[in-house]
Structure formats: C-alpha cells, structure tokens
Amino acid sequence: MMETLTRTASLLRRHLLDLDDWTPEELRSLLDDTARMRAHLDGGERLSTLAGRVLVTLFYENSTRTRVSFELAAKKLGADVVNVTASASSVTKGESLRDTVRTLQALGANIIVVRSSQSGAPDLIARAIDGAVVNAGDGWHAHPSQALLDLFTLERHLGSVAGRRIAILGDILHSRVARSNVWSLTAMGAEVVLCGPATLLPPAAADLYAARPVPGTGEPRRVVVEPRIERALEGADAVMALRIQKERMQAGLLPSLREYARTYGLNRERLALARPGALVMHPGPMNEGVEIAADVAAGPSSVIEEQVTNGVATRMAILTQLAGVLTRREAEWR
Amino acid sequence: MSEARNASGAVVLRGTRIIDPAQRLDAPGTVVIENERVVAIGAGPEVEAAVARVTATGAEVVDLPERWVLAPGFVDLHAHLREPGFEGKETILTGAAAAARGGFTTICCMPNTQPVLDSVDTLAYVLDRARTAPARVRPIAAITKGEGGHELSEMAELVAAGAVAFSDDGRPVESSRMMRLALQYAGPLGVPVVEHCQDEELVSGGVMHEGATSTLLGLKGWPAAGEDVMLARDLALVRLTGARYHAAHLSTAGAVGLIREAKRSDLPVTAEVTPHHLLLTDAWVAGERTGPLAEALAALGLPVPPGERYDTNTKVNPPLRTAADCEALLEGLADGTIDAIATDHAPHTWVDKNSEYGEAAFGISGFETALASLLALTHTGKLALSTLIAALTARPAQAWGLDAGTLKPGALADLVIFDPEEDWMVDPERFASKGRNTPLAGLTLRGRVRQTWLGGRRVYDAATE
C-alpha cells in the first residue's frame, strides 16, 4: 500500500512499502527497469543516478543477503551508503523508531531501507520523514523487493507468468515473502497455491484475496490455499520453498522438523509431481534437508542463486524509481 | 438579589425534550432542582407549582432550545482513570473533566493502577482525590491482590470502603478455581464480579482481531474464540455459585449468544459493550473505514476520509472485530441481552502510542466521543434513541445497583443536555482527557454534549469552552 502522487501512473510512488495495490502496469515498468539494470550489471557499468544521495540501511533483524544486496545496488548507482544495525544503534538504549529515523534524516539521509521484526514499521517511518522509505522486510507483513526479484526471475525463465501456477510451500503464516509474492504474482495473472501444515497457514486468506481484485484491471486474484502438498504441486510451473524456523516447533505449531521434512520437504519425488522442469526457488537462507533437499536446491531447475543476482538489479530499479520521485518532489519544494 | 434568596440552589431547566427511560419519560418538559436534587420533572400542574415556588425564591431559570435533549447523566461502568501511578496518562481530575465533557456523571474506575486498587488505603486515596471532581467516581476493586490471580483481595473491607464491583480488568482471572472462589466470596457482598473475558494462551501475543485484515497486515491476530472460551467457562462457574457476574466489553457475536442464553436460564449475569466495538471494525487497523459508524456517517452525508495503515489508535483490548460482530452486538443491545454501554476509556500518552503497532499500548480515550459516535446509530434508524439513553443511564445503574441513572423526584440532579443535530469535528487536542488516543480524530460527528450538571451544578458548558 502506498502513497502515490497519482494512482494510475507508474514511477510515482514515494516509498516502497507493500505491493498490495500495485497495478500490472506498474509492475511491468519495474520489470523493464530491472532488465535494464541487469544489463548494466552484466556490462560492469557504474551509474550516477544516486550521486550525492545518502542511503541508510537500518536493520533491526539480522540479514546478510538483503542488506548487502541493497548496499551493492545503491553503490552501483553512486549513493553514499551507511549501514546501521540494531546492536550498534541507539535502539538498545531505548530510543524510539521515530526518533531514530528523524535523527538519520537530520544527518542527511534521503533514503532509508528498513528491516524490522515489527509489521508496519516502514509505514511509521514513512509518516515521520520527508525522504523515501524502502521496506526490506517487516515482520510477517511484506518483503516487496524479494517478491519483485522473484517475479523478474520467473519471467526470465517462463516468459510471462500469466496463466502459470506457482506453489509456495511452508510457513505461510509467518512469511512476508509469501504475502508479497501473492500480490505481485496474482496481479500479473499467475495462480498462486499456498501450501503448508494447517497450523502455518494464514487465517481468512481466501476471504482476503477475494475481496481485493487487481488494481487497474479489476481482475480477480487467483489464490488457492491447499494443505495437501500433492495437490498443491500438481501442474505447478514453479515451486518456492520457505524457510522453517525452529521457534515454530517450540511454539507447538509443528511436532518436529523431522515430520515437517517428511511431509512438506521439497524432494525429488515431490518435485516430480509438478510440471516437468518446474523451477525451484527459495528466498534463503535455506535449511537443506528440512524444507528443501540438497539435491533439489542444487538441481538443474533451481534458480536459487540467480534469484540473489537478480536481487541487486531489482533493487537498483527500485532505488532509481524512488530517486526520480524524490528529485521531482524536491523541485516542487523549491 | 441577595445570595440568601436562592439558598437552596434552585434551578429550572425548561423548554426541551426530556428522556428518562427509568420513568418511561420522553416528552418536552421541565426539570426543577433544589438542594442538589430533582424536585419535579415533566409537565403538568405539579411541575408548574414547583416552578412557581422556586422562581419566587430566585431560582436560576435556564431556557433550552426545543431540539436539544435532556437526560440523566450517563453512568459508565468501565473507565481507566490511571491514578495512582500513571498520572502521565490521566489523573482522576482530568479523567472526570473528560467524563463531564462527554455527559458522564457517574464513572466506575478500574483498579489496574499502581498500586492496584486492592486495599482500603488505595481506595480511600482515589475517593479523596475524587472529592472535587466534576463526576462521581465509584471505584472497582481488584478481585485478586495486585491483580496477580492468586489470592483474593480483602473484598468485605473493600465493599465497606466503597468498592462497587470487583475486577482484574486488563487481564482475566486465569485460574478456574480462583474465579470460582471469587464468585463464592463476593456473592453475599452484593456486588458483581467483572471479568475481562480472554483465554490468555489462546490470544497470547495477539495485537488485533484474527482474520483477513490481520493476514493483510501481517499482525498477530487473536481469534474471537479467545473471548468465547473464557465467557463459557465463567458462565459454568456462575451456574455453580449463583453469584452476580458481569462480562466487560463484549466484542464477539459468540459472546452475545452466550449471554443471551445465560439470561434465558435466569443466571444472574449482566454485560456491557463499548462504543468502539459496536461501531468500528478490524479493517480500521488497515485504515479502511468500514462498519456501522462509517456507513452511518456516509448515510448522513458526513465525510469519511480513509485512515492510515497501522494507526495505533485502533489498537484496543479486546480488539476491533468484524462487521458481523458489530451487528450481533447491536442486536444484543436492542433486545436487552446487553445491559450497558461502557466506554472502557483508556487514555495513553503520545509516547505510549507512537510506536510500531505491535509495541503500542492497548486502549482508546473514549469519554469525549462516546455519545456523538453512538448517535450515528440513532440518526440512521439502527437504534432507538430511548434504547441508547437507557443503556447509558438506567440500565447500567440498575445492573450494579448504583444510585444514579434517573431524574425521578428525589434523585440527585446529575444530568446531561445535548444537541443531537450539531456537527463537530473530533479534535483530540481539545480533549479534557490527557489521552488523545482516538481513532476518530478528524472525523465529523453529529450530536454534541452542550451541558453537564452534577448535583444541580453546571460542571460542563460547551458555550464557555
């Protein structure tokens, strides 16, 4: 969900908070920009789109790939990058999130990339500062840059995702990756199957998506919630396995990792239920042998490493679009 | 005119519609007050005689517009005044001023202060602080010492010191055995045990209603069953003990059904609902204003701009539920299953609320918007005005045996006068409460409290604000 300067046109969002109200046209524009960025990356070029801009990565949760990915993307675009992690920040001294980001703004930050265990933290920051906010994952809510890089990766292999069936396996309830992927994939016409043990499926998901057709086109979103894995995988063009966290066992949501691996782990036999050559994806970090078998993760149809590479290009595209809006807004202020 | 001329503090309020459900009164009339009490009310020769008598001795005569409504001062069975211990959020005096601004003249305050209201000393402190307050403060004492859930508070002494009910509000009495003992012990004392119905394990960590919106926002939800489970347990214990029981802030359709059934079986139970659970839905947490209030305001032609996502002013315990729950609660109110509308006024500081949704405090500052928000239901024909007024006056007073809620001759002259048609915008900066935490900020509501009188004395007048 986001503040837009105008609803219909793309390239006009102030922040990247969520993908629930993105139109297919906006997604297409971002995919096009991502393809351009990927070409720049492959060509080893450096750009200066963000020259003179200060980008702060503010990470309240541990993350290697997402933080490094944003940092690289920003540097390739010429930004000054400052990394702030929770342990090193005043959060441990009890400073509120609002005060922290106001301070970062006063220090000259134009773009804040935030990762938080609290759903909605990026929304709070967006209301507190004048610059741009990028949600790099908040609680169980959203991880839009991950979903955008997943979409880009899928399209590179499948062509359009329209009419395709994408299965997401595992802990959907606690997954911001699954939530964001549902919005972007269904907006582009794919059918998404959410599959996991019933204790790890989100409440009222069918009602939620039924009530929110695709913005711009009004098309219904095609989402299936299916706890039976054999049915979920049937005819799937791609399968995305999600990380299972040990805390879920401690909270009693699952009997054991062993049983999970046996009943929902993505192994070769299960993958054979999907379409031949179905893509294998994982947002990382993986628990090999639990949600995904090592030979599947390293198998011929795995695009897991490519996801990581595409992540940098996707984030370059995101930052480029946001910088454009920021520059225009600054011109209006003057 | 010498002061002695009106030594009895006589007042004549006339010219407007009077609604007093305890007397089945709803007609234009006059109220005559002397020595803090009502001496005559309504119309007819007796009232005229009383008017003539007091005006002869210099009574103050107040002529009120015809379209205004005069009713008994509202009785709130559920408020948090935060003193002692949390004076940054509210004090007894600021809370009572907010109550007066909302038309409430009797407010029952919850014991989750610091220290907890579980001793005669802390109760005496509250009553002492309330002596000069512009509302009558009736304390509710804790069921268990420190609201710890393990040992009964000294209930007999607390009742003698002025406790009108017992509650560990903010949390339920988790142990079934403890709840049984509380009901048994409190029963003969003649005051109700008030439960915050919530299965702590089922709702643990939840910050909003579990449903489509919690999935949208990635917030941990708590299911409606969390309330129903605890209420069902309590009703079994009421059946066992026969003691007076009151369910606080019902929020689910299931709970309404359970209370309805319990009343049919003649169990000694009563229940309350808050304005926000009647009027707002969980979609408000996503900034999407659906449900009875939004629909009514739209029908009245008043603007309903979208809200903000993760607005922590929508965070309340129990949480805002679905439109179907709102509907069931309204039905329960209309058919008498629910006895009272209580605000659960829960003021907080800006710091308490200005954080991530998961971290923010639970609660809504409710006194000053209660009437106006509820009038949206009467303006659109969803609720009779007399039913609404009864649920704010006679019925709560009757539920707990409080000497309040009516303007019968001889009663204390505690009353509210409101203009049902005046539009005003909710501006928390103008609240008398220290708590500006309301999800209604910026909305225009129809119906405004004009004056509040306590014991024949004006304690609030919108004209002098």
Q: Residue A49: is its pLDDT beyond 50?
A: yes
**pLDDT value at residue A9:** 39
Residue A136 lies in a domain: yes
Looking at beta carbons, which residues of chain B come within 8 Å of A97? 355-356
Do A153 and A301 have their domain in common?
yes
Do B174 and B44 have their domain in common?
no
CB contact under 8 A, A119 and B217: yes
Q: Which residues form the domain of B15?
A: 3-66
Q: What is the pLDDT of residues A145-174, one digit of tens each?
A: 999 999 999 999 999 999 999 999 999 999
Q: Residue B63: is its pLDDT beyond 70?
A: yes
Measure Cα distances from A269 to A229, A265, A273, A301, B393 in Å.
12, 10, 7, 14, 69
Looking at beta carbons, which residues of chain B come within 8 Å of A120? 217, 219, 309-310, 356-358
**pLDDT value at residue A293:** 97
**pLDDT value at residue A7:** 36
- Give the one of B212, B218, B286 whose C-beta lies nearest to A142's C-beta: B218
Indicate the pLDDT class of residue A46, thresholds 50, 70 and 90: confident
**pLDDT value at residue A88:** 53
- Give the one of B210, B351, B358 whose C-beta lies nearest to A119's C-beta: B358
**pLDDT value at residue A249:** 79
Q: What is the mean pLDDT of chain A?
A: 93
Indicate the pLDDT class of residue A219, thresholds 50, 70 and 90: very high
Residue B454 lies in a domain: no
Q: How many CA atoms, within 13 angstroms, populate the side-chain half-sphere of residue B434? A: 20
Do B17 and B88 have their domain in common?
no
Q: Residue A91: is its pLDDT beyond 80?
A: no
**pLDDT value at residue A93:** 56
Do B272 and B342 have their domain in common?
yes
Q: What is the Cα Rg of chain A in Å?
A: 19
Q: What is the pLDDT of residues B105-133, one digit of tens each?
A: 999 999 999 999 999 999 999 999 999 99
Q: Which residue of B has its CA nearest to A20?
A: B216
Q: Residue A2: is its pLDDT beyond 60?
A: no
**pLDDT value at residue A256:** 92
Residue B465 lies in a domain: no
Q: Residue B71: is its pLDDT beyond 60?
A: yes
B52 at A interface, C-beta within 8 A:
no
Distance of CA A321 to the CA centre of its chain: 17
**pLDDT value at residue A5:** 37
Determine how many CB atoms are found less than 10 A away from the CB of residue B302: 17
The SS3 assignment for A226 reads coil
**pLDDT value at residue B4:** 65
Looking at beta carbons, which residues of chain A come within 8 Å of B286? 1
| Nearest C-alpha neighbor of A147 from the set A287, A320, A281, A291 | A281
Looking at beta carbons, which residues of chain A come within 8 Å of B214? 203
Q: Say how many residues make up chain A.
A: 334
The SS3 assignment for A69 reads helix
**pLDDT value at residue A87:** 65
Residues 253-312 of B with CB under 8 A from A: 286-287, 308-310
DSSP E strand boundaries for B97-229: 104-109, 136-141, 165-167, 193-195, 208-209, 221-222
Q: Residue A119: is its pLDDT beyond 90?
A: yes
**pLDDT value at residue A89:** 53
DSSP E strand boundaries for A216-278: 222-225, 238-241
Do A176 and A272 have their domain in common?
yes
Q: What is the pLDDT of residues B366-396, one digit of tens each?
A: 999 999 999 999 999 999 999 999 999 999 9
Q: What does the pLDDT average to over B171-198?
A: 97
Q: Residue A304: is its pLDDT beyond 90?
A: yes
Burial state string for B381-403 with b = 16 or more CB within 10 A and e = fewer than 16 = ebbebbbbbbbbbbbbbbbbebe
Residue B453 lies in a domain: no
Q: Residue A1: is its pLDDT beyond 70?
A: no
Do A158 and A193 have their domain in common?
yes
Residue B452 lies in a domain: no
Do B196 and B276 have their domain in common?
yes
Residues of B annotated catalytic, as ranges? 344
Indicate the pLDDT class of residue B35, thresholds 50, 70 and 90: very high
Q: What is the pLDDT of residues A243-268, one digit of tens each?
A: 998 888 778 899 999 999 999 999 99
Phi/psi of residue A238, nearest 5 degrees: -155, 150
Q: Say how many residues make up chain B.
A: 465
A142 at B interface, C-beta within 8 A:
yes
Do A233 and A185 have their domain in common?
yes
Q: What is the pLDDT of residues B277-300, one digit of tens each?
A: 999 999 999 999 999 999 999 999
Give me the amino acid identity at B415: L
Residues 18-47 of A with CB under 8 A from B: 20
A28 CA: distance to closest CA in chain B (Å): 23
Phi/psi of residue B29, nearest 5 degrees: -175, -165
Looking at beta carbons, which residues of chain B come within 8 Å of A203? 210-212, 214-215, 221, 223
Residue B350 lies in a domain: yes
- Region of A185 please: left (phi>0), alpha (psi -120 to 50) or beta: alpha
C-alpha triplet B4, B7, B11: angle, nearest 5°: 125
| Exposed / middle / buried, residue B184 (Cβ in 10 Å: 0-12, 13-18, 19+) | middle
Residue B78 lies in a domain: yes
Do A99 and A178 have their domain in common?
no
**pLDDT value at residue A92:** 53
CB contact under 8 A, A124 and B214: no
Q: What is the pLDDT of residues A4-39, one digit of tens each?
A: 333 333 447 999 999 999 999 999 999 999 999 999
Q: What is the torsional sign of CA B46, B47, B49, B54?
A: positive
Q: How far is Cα B127 from Cα A62, in angstroms, rounded to an integer?
A: 51
Indicate the pLDDT class of residue B357, thresholds 50, 70 and 90: very high
Q: Which helix (H) or strand (E) holds B420?
A: strand B415-425
- Enter the pTM of the model: 0.95
In this structure, are residues A125 and A112 in contact, taking their beta carbons and an 8 Å threshold?
A: yes
Do B80 and B215 have their domain in common?
yes
Do A40 and A138 have their domain in common?
yes
Q: Residue B323: is its pLDDT beyond 80?
A: yes
Do A60 and A70 have their domain in common?
yes
CB contact under 8 A, A123 and B309: yes
ipTM of the complex: 0.94
Do A87 and A137 have their domain in common?
yes
Indicate the pLDDT class of residue A234, thresholds 50, 70 and 90: very high
Q: What is the mean pLDDT of chain B?
A: 97
Domain count, chain B: 2
Measure Cα distances from B376 to B62, B220, B272, B276, B453 in Å.
28, 31, 19, 12, 24
Do B158 and B232 have their domain in common?
yes
A11 CA: distance to closest CA in chain B (Å): 22
CB contact under 8 A, A118 and B309: no
Do B59 and B174 have their domain in common?
no
Domain count, chain A: 2
Q: Which residues form the domain of A187?
A: 144-307
- Give the one of A96, A97, A208 whose C-beta lies nearest to B216's C-beta: A208
Q: Which helix (H) or strand (E) holds A165?
A: strand A165-169
Looking at beta carbons, which residues of chain B come within 8 Å of A20? 216
Residue A200 belongs to a domain with what CATH number?
3.40.50.1370
**Long-range contacts from A106-110, C-beta under 8 angstroms, 24+ separation:** A107/A54, A108/A54, A109/A54, A109/A55, A109/A56, A109/A82, A110/A53, A110/A54, A110/A55, A110/A326
Indicate the pLDDT class of residue A94, thresholds 50, 70 and 90: low
**pLDDT value at residue A334:** 74
Residue A75 lies in a domain: yes
Measure Cα distances from A69 to A40, A61, A181 in Å.
15, 15, 19
